[in-house]
Structures are given as structure tokens and as C-alpha cells.
Structure 1
Amino acid sequence: MKLILTFLFFTLSSPLLSDQRPNIVFVLIDDLGWNGLSSYGNKYVQTPHLDKLAKEGARFTDAYGMGQCSPARFAFLTGQSAARTNHTAVVLEKHLLPNARLIQPESNRTLDPKSINIGRELKNTGYRVGVIGKWHIDVEESRVRAQMGSPKYIAQWGFDHIKMKKQPNDPKSVMAYSQAVIDYLKQDQSKPTFAYLAHTTLHTALAAPAELIQKYVAMGYNKSPDKKGSWEDRPIADYFAMIDYMDQSIGLLMKGIEEMKSDRETLVIFMSDNGGLSRVWENEPLRRGKGSAYEGGIRVPLIMHWPERIKAGQTISEPVHITDLFPSFLSIADTPIPANHPLDGMNIMPLVNGGNIEREFFCIHMPVYVPHYSHTPSSVIRMGDYKLVKFFGDYIADPASKEITAEGRIELFNLRNDLGETKDLSKEMPEKAKEMERKLMNWLAERKAYMPKINPKFNAKKWSDSIASKVDSYGKSIYKKDQKK
């Protein structure tokens, strides 16, 4: 009898039964456009595994990332906007435009390892937290990784480095990453696990198994002559193969989770960091692509799959933003919001449970130049069906010409009626435009956002002359002539 009571005591007090919080697997794809999945309108590639997740869970139609990869990752990890943190640029990319209309603010290029992030917060309340794939939140990461080794390097932010076994014929380790996450989930099932799977696909360079590329070549699509891809080669078989292969990896991931037969529930969230790269992908009906403040640059797919808790077959049109993941994950994990860490995101889990969220608007701050995406310093406010873009000192009406118009501008669109942002309503609805502009500027001021300033040395003919497009691991220009300045 004593042995039975002792066994029951240790069984009922075991971590597995005392902590029933779910596993959370967050899959962040690189450069997948909003219409990149067949459940979102992809007419070239079938994505059955991700479509299954959408069918069995919730598909968000109006989800937003950032214009580029690093700002999106900063926003997800902190729950804070670029306006608040000044994480506004890709960490190893720096466009110095001495002749531009505006002097852009210098971006903060590293997330302080000791700062609050979603992984550390979950770890502090009992989660195992791990990451595999693209990090891209530290200007020194390429140098330090080589010196310190990835596990010790990643541990600075409170994450485990999920170990991976390379697989043959697996470009960009797409399958190996998914298998590594499965293995990580299995390692210790007594605790809930948060796994951040940051794929390096679908970012160029183009790379996919040869047989998959041939599949799309046989269907009549162009094989790219190089790894970079070009507008003239679209539609590109290599890129279609990358999407196909990425979807297959999600199938592998979900099969692995199902075969675990764990008593613990698992929530899988799938999202892209920014819009599709126009050079290799057609973002239509959205306007422009990656790097842009228009919908093609910032609207992304978002799917949540949690069979035990999220009703199947939901399509949610409420606008949401990548900063919303931080408070949502904390809510799922029954983890309090950290003190003295103001959030710009909101818990969106009520949306998948038939409820609402009380948010009047959200904003996206993009105050830097990115010449190769025809992006000039600007910010966005989304309020209900309306979206306003404010260009702070110049804009490019036609990205093919790169011709600059040296003046500030606001544009107003009704996205429900005009998804492609073809009709500027700012003149027809001046009061609405003024209201949204005022809210945007107040929002930026409240967060003490760094703002661009007029450049007294502006030269319209040479505005796009860029001294450097890359920086070294210390954040300095790779060009010696620029380092002297």
C-alpha cells in the first residue's frame, strides 16, 4: 500500500501532469509573399500541407509583418514597434545616400542580449526555448558565431541552439530544420517547449532539389540562369520549387508532431517576415513587393493551427501585426507581461475564439532608404478598412524609373474596396486623411521615434548614389573611403 501511495504521489506531482501548457512552434518563413500559398491564391504551386493547416485552423487575411527581415524579427521577439526600438533596418545592410532628399536616422542594429524577448520570458516561467535557422538581429553575428560557436552565442538571448543533422539533397537545410525541431520537441516532454523555426528559404539565392525544379520546368516555367533570379525570367521554376519544398517540410513537421502522440497539445503558427521579392515573385493583386510600404511589401500569410483550441476553417479579416505574437504567446503560456516593457502588440487569441480585440489602429515605421526596393522614408497607419502612407520628404511613383519626387506626400486607401492601392482617396476624403495622419504622428511622437530630416545637400540627379550597401560585423561601411567620414 505504501508503495502504491508513493507511486501516485510522484506521478500526480510530475511536471508532465502539473504543467499542461502547450508546446508552441513558430515557423517564420523568409520572403514568402501574401499570395504565396494556394490557400491564399497561389495559382502556380499547390501547398497542400499548409493548406491543411489553414483548413484545420485559422487563416488570417490581413496580417502584417515588416518591410524586411531584421525589423520583423526584432518586432516579433520584443512585441515592440520599430518606432519604439529604432530597429528599422537590416542589420548588415546600410545605404548611405549623401545626396538624398532626407537624412535618414541611424538604425539600432542589435537586440541587446540581456533585453526582454519572448524566449527569455517563456523560459523564466518553465518553458524550454530553442531556435534554429535565421537569427539576423545582431550586427556582429557573423563574426561572433565563428569565434564562439552558435550554441554559446544564441544562449546570450536565453535560447537553446537547436542542433541539426545535415541531410543529403537538402538545399538550405529545409528538411533538416523541420526534423531538428521534431527532435527538440521529443527531447524533454516533461516541460512545455517553445521552438522558433526560422527558415532561410524562400530568400534568394534560389535553391531547391533538382527534381523539383525540373517538375516546374516540365510544366513550362523558366529555369533561372543564376541563383539570383530576375524580373524578366518570371515565372521562375526554381522559386516555385522552393515553395513546394518548403510546404513539404511543413508536412514533415506536422507528421513528426502527430507521431509523438504526446499528451501535451501543440500550437503551430506559420508566418512570413515580409512580402514577396518582386524580382522572383508576382505579388499581384497587391502593390509592389518586399521593402515597400505598400501591401506587397508588408502584408503576409498567417496561419494558426491548434486542433484542441482553435475552431477549424476560420478566416479572420481583422488586421493584425507581427508585434501581436509576443503578447499572444504570453497569454497562451499563462505568462505575465513583463513589468516596464511597454508593448505595441496585442493578444490576438480572442480572435480565434470568436471574440474581438479593442484596437483602433496600428502603425509601421519605415524611416530609412532602401534604393533597390524604391523605398523612401515613410510610415504606415492601418485603421479599420483604411490605410494611410506618409512619405516624409520624397517618394518614387514609378519603381521602374527610380525617378524621385522631392516632396512629402500622404496617400489614403480603402483596402476592402481597393486591395491593389490603385486609388488615392486623400483628396476625396481630406478629413479622414488628416485624422489618420494626426494619429500616426502622435503615435510616433509618443514612442519618441527617430525621424528623417531634410538634407541641405540634396541633389535630385544623384539622390540614389549609395556609398555602401553593406556593413561589416562592427556596423561600419565595408568601403574604406566611407569609414573616413
Structure 2
Amino acid sequence: MKFLLSLFFLAFSSSLIADNRPNIVFVLIDDLGWNGLSSYGNQYVNTPHLDKLAEQGARFTDAYGMSQCSPARFAFLTGQSAARTNHTAVCLEKHVLPHARMIQPESNRMLAHDAVNIGRELKKSGYRVGVIGKWHVDVNEKRLRPEMKDAYLAQWGFETITPERSEDDKKLVMGSTLGVLNYLKQDQSKPTFAYLAHRTVHTGLEAPKNIIQKYVDMGYNKSASKGGKSSEKPIADYFAMIDYLDLSIGTLMKGIEAMKSERETVVIFMSDNGGLSRVWDNEPLRRGKGSEYEAGIRVPFIVHWPEKIKAGQTITEPVHITDLFPTFLNIAQTPAPKNYPLDGVNIMPLMTGGDFKRDFFCIHLPVYIPHYAHTPSSIIRMGDFKLIKFYGDYQQDPNEKVITPGAKVELYNLRSDLSEKNDLSQSMPEKAKEMELKLMNWLAERKAHMPKINPNYDPEKATDSIASKVDTFGKIAYKNSKK
């Protein structure tokens, strides 16, 4: 009898601690434009593995990141908007236009080590949490020695995922993918969250030589430099990067299937910002990376979870990268942290047939980015409509080094005017006023840092910029953060 009771209590206790929540693999691509996949309109490169991911899951047509990499990563990790956190610029770059019409607010360039972030929240709920690839939310990352990496990432609750290295995989595209598969296999008693932050397809241009040659043989140009030039488009090296990325996704999905785990695995694929127009044509979207127009912020977004999500869905509801935080919490059956305001919302109902309602969301971009013709602005997307508010100046032609003074708004119906050619702000003034008011109230509620009129404005020197690769305060900040 004692033996039977022992078996009963053992089985009962085991059932209590059994954790059948799914693994989550989040694949974040660097600089992949909205039309970078053949399922989104790429006519140069076939991406069969990513297309299959979309066919078996949900493909979002109106998904948004940020206009550059660091702000997108801050938004995903925190679930909060740049308006709330002031993470508005690339952490390792600083551009100052001392004579421009506006004074831009100084960006917060570090994710605090004790900050609430999705990895730490999932870890607290019982997940193994690992990251591999581009971190880019701390000005001190470039100063990091390899032997410090484990302790460094542990400050945010993440483990280091180790890549597999090979000679013709300079950006560790396949190596990082294999590293994630190894991480998933290491301990299958717990659910795993793996953040696969690729450094591709960001320049410099790097891909296996045989894949580059494949596109050269098709008649496309091999770039003379790692940076690529507009005059070289269409560029074989860039096509090869997309091709190789797609192959890695095939390896990822085959590896997950080969594990034959009883635990489900959710795979989410997204880009941080739009495509770099120097090496990629973003048409029909307007402009490119760094811009407030669609090619700067609209990105491919795919969710694959066959056990829960009906295959073949195309979802046109606008979503934002801040939505990932609450969505991941929902997938992981984990409550949101108390007294922590989220700007994103759980988007699972869009894929499972549940109720979903959001009137609008906003994107705050209050800084100058001279090389992308970006001036301080903010965006509100409400239904089919998008309004851009330029606070004090704007650059009409990205190819001309001319900044036009004056605040203005632009209004577009993206459903009928995807290329943002027809500004409706004058023909629909009431709609423009309604959306501008909602935007400004939203920013005020989050106490957003705002640009101000520059008393030293000089029209003749307005485009003169001072740029530094890394802020000089970074080393001091790192010392202080260690205390």
C-alpha cells in the first residue's frame, strides 16, 4: 500500500510540474525589406522555405517595425514604444545637426540591466531563454570581449547561444541557425525561448561564394565593395544573402521536425526595419530604411504554429513590433508584469478567430537621420489611414541635400495608395485633424521627448551634420552600470 501511494503521489507531483507550453523561436532579420520574400513580391529571388512558412501559417501584410535597428529591438524587448522609453536612435550612432531648424531630443541609448524585458519575464515563468546574433541595445556592446559575453547578456536574463562556425559563413547565418537547434535540444524538459537575431541581410554584403556566383551567372552584378552601390543594382551579392537566409530557415524547420518533440514550437519571422534602398528596390513602397514612409517601417511578418493557427491566412490588420511582447506572454501562458504599461497588444486573436480591436497605434521618430533623409516626425496608423507629422522641417527629395523648413502633416489612404503618392491632408482636413489630435494626445500620455525649435537655426547650414560612430559617454555609462 505504501508503495502504491508513493507511486500515486509521484505521478501526481509530476503532473503538477509538467510544462507542456510551446517553444518560441523568434527570427529577427536585419534590414530585410517588406518585399524581400517571394511571398511578398520578390521577383528576383525565390524563397521557398519562407514561403512555405507563410503557407502553413499566417502572413501579415501590414506589419511594422521601426525605421532603424536599435529602436526596433528596444520595442520588441520591452513591449513599449519609443515615445515612452525614449529609445529613438541607433545606440552606436549619433547624428547632430547643430544648425537645423529643430533640436532633436537626446535618445536613451541603453536598455537598463534591470529593465523589464520579454526574455526576463519568460525566464521567470519557467522558460529557458537564449539569444544569438545582434543585440544592439547597449552603447557598450562593441567594447565587449568574447569571454565577457555570457555574464554581459545574463544582466538582462538571457543565456548565450553558441553558433557553429564555418569558413564560408561570415555572418553566421547557418551557424546561428544550427546553434539555435542545438539550444532547443539541450534541455527539452522546459519550454525554450530562442531569440535568433540575424546580422543578415544588413550590409556588408556577405554570402557563400557559390550562391553569389549563381546570381552572377544569371546576369546580375557582383558588387565591387561590401557596402554596395545604387549604381550596381540589381546586386548578385544581395540576392545571395536573401537566398542563403531562406536556406537557413529550411534548415531550422527541418531541424525542429527532426527533433520529434512532443512540445510544439512556434516560429515567428520578422524584419526590424525596411530595406536599404542603396542595395534594394523597395517599390511599390516609398523610400527605404530610416524613413517615415512605408519602405522604412513596413516589414514582412510570418507566424507559424500549425497546432493552433490555421494555415494559409493572410492578415491585413496593422500590427506593430511592440505587439510581440504581449503576444509572446500569451503564447507562454504568462501574465503581464504588474504595474507595467504595455503599448503593444496581444495579436493572437487575429490568427485564432478571437475578438481583436485597436483603434490606432503610433510610431515616434523625433530624430534626424541625415543619410536617410529623415527629419523629426511621428506617425499614426488608424485603419487604412496613415498620418505623418513633421515637426519643423522635411526633406522632399531624398536625393537632394535640401531640408525644407516648416511643420506639416501628410495623410495617406494606404489601402488605395500604397506608394504614398496622394497626400489627402488638404482634401480631408477633418480626418487629418482627428488623427493628429489622437497622435499628440498619445505622445503626451507617454511623456514623449519632443523636438524643439532651434534658436541657432541657419538655413544655409541646416544640412551640416556632426556624426560619431559611438557616443563618448559609453565607457562611463558602462562603469556606472556595473555598480
Task: Calculate the TM-score normalised by the size of structure 2.
Answer: 0.96
Equivalence map 1:232-381=2 (5 Å)? 232-381=231-380
Equivalence map 1:180-259=2 (5 Å)? 180-259=179-258
Unaligned runs of 5+ in 1: 478-485
**CA apart distance, 1:459:** 1.7
- The code of the aligned residue for 2:159 comes to D
Structure-1 separation of matches of 2:254 and 2:358: 37
**CA apart distance, 1:462:** 1.7
What are the Cα deviations for residues 241-276 of structure 1, in whole angstroms up to 9, with x where unaligned?
A: 000000101111111100000000000000000000
Please tell me whether residue 135 in structure 1 is matched to residue 135 in structure 2: yes
Equivalent in the alignment of 1:481: none
**CA apart distance, 1:6:** 5.2
Equivalent in the alignment of 1:482: none
Equivalent in the alignment of 2:172: 173
Please tell me whether residue 120 in structure 1 is matched to residue 120 in structure 2: yes
Secondary structure of residue in 1 paired with 2:262: coil
Task: Please tell me the root mean square deviation across aligned C-alpha atoms, in Å.
Answer: 1.7
Equivalent in the alignment of 1:54: 54
What are the Cα deviations for residues 20-66 of structure 1, in whole angstroms up to 9, with x where unaligned?
A: 11000000000000000000000000000000000000000000000
**CA apart distance, 1:178:** 0.3
What are the Cα deviations for residues 213-255 of structure 1, in whole angstroms up to 9, with x where unaligned?
A: 1100111111110000011111100000000000101111111
Equivalent in the alignment of 1:36: 36
Secondary structure of residue in 2 paired with 1:212: helix
Query: Are 2:402 and 2:463, in contact at CA under 8 Å, matched by a contact in 1?
Result: no
What are the Cα deviations for residues 65-111 of structure 1, in whole angstroms up to 9, with x where unaligned?
A: 00000000000000000000000000010001111110000000000
Structure-1 separation of matches of 2:242 and 2:305: 23
**CA apart distance, 1:142:** 1.4
Please tell me whether residue 388 in structure 1 is matched to residue 406 in structure 2: no
**Compared with structure 1, are the counterparts of its residues 397 and 16 closer, same or farther at alpha carbon in structure 2 (3 Å cutoff)?**
farther
Secondary structure of residue in 2 paired with 1:352: helix
Please identify, of 463-472 and 275-284, the stretch whose mean Cα deviation from structure 2 is larger.
Answer: 463-472
Secondary structure of residue in 2 paired with 1:262: coil
Query: Are 2:140 and 2:475, in contact at CA under 8 Å, matched by a contact in 1?
Result: no
- The code of the aligned residue for 2:35 comes to N
What are the Cα deviations for residues 367-415 of structure 1, in whole angstroms up to 9, with x where unaligned?
A: 0000000000000000000000000000001001121110011000000
Secondary structure of residue in 1 paired with 2:95: coil
Structure-1 separation of matches of 2:190 and 2:129: 10
**CA apart distance, 1:339:** 1.0
**CA apart distance, 1:211:** 0.7
Structure-2 separation of matches of 1:228 and 1:439: 40
Secondary structure of residue in 1 paired with 2:28: strand
Unaligned runs of 5+ in 2: 477-483
- The code of the aligned residue for 1:113 comes to H
Secondary structure of residue in 2 paired with 1:363: strand
Secondary structure of residue in 2 paired with 1:365: strand
**CA apart distance, 1:355:** 2.8
Secondary structure of residue in 2 paired with 1:153: helix
Please identify, of 105-114 and 159-168, the stretch whose mean Cα deviation from structure 2 is larger.
Answer: 159-168
Query: Are 1:15 and 1:190, in contact at CA under 8 Å, matched by a contact in 2?
Result: no
- The code of the aligned residue for 2:380 comes to I
**CA apart distance, 1:457:** 1.2
Structure-2 separation of matches of 1:285 and 1:12: 58
**CA apart distance, 1:4:** 7.4
**CA apart distance, 1:354:** 1.8
**Compared with structure 1, are the counterparts of its residues 455 and 190 closer, same or farther at alpha carbon in structure 2 (3 Å cutoff)?**
same
Structure-1 separation of matches of 2:293 and 2:168: 37
What are the Cα deviations for residues 172-216 of structure 1, in whole angstroms up to 9, with x where unaligned?
A: 000010000000000110000000000000100000011101100
Structure-2 separation of matches of 1:472 and 1:179: 34
**Compared with structure 1, are the counterparts of its residues 16 and 201 closer, same or farther at alpha carbon in structure 2 (3 Å cutoff)?**
farther
Structure-2 separation of matches of 1:381 and 1:152: 39
Query: Are 1:390 and 1:437, in contact at CA under 8 Å, matched by a contact in 2?
Result: yes
What are the Cα deviations for residues 349-374 of structure 1, in whole angstroms up to 9, with x where unaligned?
A: 00000234211000000000000000
Equivalent in the alignment of 1:458: 457
**Compared with structure 1, are the counterparts of its residues 151 and 368 closer, same or farther at alpha carbon in structure 2 (3 Å cutoff)?**
same
Give the length in aligned residue pairs.
Answer: 476
**Compared with structure 1, are the counterparts of its residues 406 and 365 closer, same or farther at alpha carbon in structure 2 (3 Å cutoff)?**
same
**CA apart distance, 1:13:** 4.0
**CA apart distance, 1:472:** 4.0
Secondary structure of residue in 1 paired with 2:178: helix
Q: Matched residues, percent identical?
A: 71
**CA apart distance, 1:475:** 3.8
Query: Are 1:412 and 1:424, in contact at CA under 8 Å, matched by a contact in 2?
Result: yes
- The code of the aligned residue for 2:121 comes to E
Equivalent in the alignment of 2:76: 76
**Compared with structure 1, are the counterparts of its residues 71 and 16 closer, same or farther at alpha carbon in structure 2 (3 Å cutoff)?**
farther
Please identify, of 465-474 and 352-361, the stretch whose mean Cα deviation from structure 2 is larger.
Answer: 465-474
Structure-2 separation of matches of 1:15 and 1:460: 71
Equivalent in the alignment of 1:483: none
What are the Cα deviations for residues 405-432 of structure 1, in whole angstroms up to 9, with x where unaligned?
A: 1001100000000000000000000000
Regions of 4+ moved over 6 Å: 1-5
Equivalent in the alignment of 2:473: 474
- The code of the aligned residue for 1:428 comes to S
**CA apart distance, 1:343:** 0.4
